[in-house]
Amino acid sequence: MSPTDRRQELATNLGAVRERIARAVEDAGRDDEVGLVVVTKYFPESDVRLLADLGVTDVGENRHQEASAKAAACADLGLRWHFVGGLQSNKASAVASYADVVESVDRVKLVGPLDRGAAERDPESERVLEVLVQVSLDPPDAAGRAGAEPAEVPALAEAVAAAPHLRLGGVMAVAPLGADPGPAFARLADVAAALRASHPDARTISAGMSGDLEAAISHGATHVRVGSAVLGMRPRIK
Ligand SMILES: *Cc1c(COP(=O)(O)O)cnc(C)c1O
């Protein structure tokens, strides 16, 4: 596909997603704005450039190596980089060197390395790294689930809030596979409300993807993370 055709395709998809978001906000009777993070994992730098040109300000990635390379290659675009993938504690400080928001913090063990990485990346500036606590919406015995149990959230939030170079932004979650996302996003809204009671500035609720952004917005999502509805089907994982 030529760059012009790809630009047109992305523009059309992006317009449709923005329309869905606007309609969901209206249907929910909300008058605030919902932020869009376009998840560009598996797609090339050229797509990130086209998206930036089409007005996208926030992009998400879920694998450290790919994210790190793309963020470096696209440093001139002024985008905000969201890390949304599983985090190993030995990679956490490296992720902090390019990410603006780390959305997938699900255990206290990650806080120290993230705080160190955030402190090292830009010693001159006062820039802090925004962190979201990833909350599990799966049954406690589900295989391969990511995220902290709701009961673990307060302690994890305290640890993030106490780290000098991190800012607690709120919560993030992925709806359980193959289940109605509504009840899960409702539980997330309760977790987020409890968090705000002790951390009033932690207002972000990052929830909703290509298939369920309407349900997330109806349950108060402040940000949606959309990949395939904008970029198309992801290439097969090698
Ligand atoms: C890939 C991914 C998304 C985007 O998923 P789509 O269904 O392609 O919109 C959102 N959040 C996370 C954490 C992801 O890994």
pLDDT at 141: 76
Task: From the CA of 225, give the closest atom in ligand 1.
Answer: 10
In this structure, the chain runs to a length of 238
Written as tens digits, the pLDDT of the chain (238 aa) is: 888 999 999 999 999 999 999 999 999 999 999 999 999 999 999 999 999 999 999 999 999 999 999 999 999 999 999 999 999 999 999 999 999 999 999 999 999 999 999 999 876 666 689 999 999 999 877 776 789 999 999 999 999 999 999 999 999 999 998 889 999 999 999 999 999 999 999 999 999 999 999 999 999 999 999 999 999 998 765 4
Supply the pLDDT for residue 38.
98
Q: What is the pLDDT of residue 44?
A: 96
Instruction: Judge if the beta carbon of residue 223 lies within 6 A of ligand 1.
Output: no
The response to whether residue 232 sits with its C-beta less than 6 Å from ligand 1 reads no
CA distance 208 to 125: 33
Find the 177 Cα to ligand 1 centroid distance in Å.
Answer: 12
Provide the CA 200 distance to its chain's centre, in angstroms: 20
Atom of ligand 1 at shortest range from CA of 228: 8
CA dihedral 162, 113, 169, 234 (to 10 degrees): -170
How crowded is residue 213: how many other Cβ atoms within 10 Å of its Cβ? 23
3-state secondary structure 120-181: HHCCCCCCCEEEEEEECCCCCCCCCCCCECHHHHHHHHHHHHHCCCEEEEEEECCCCCCCCH
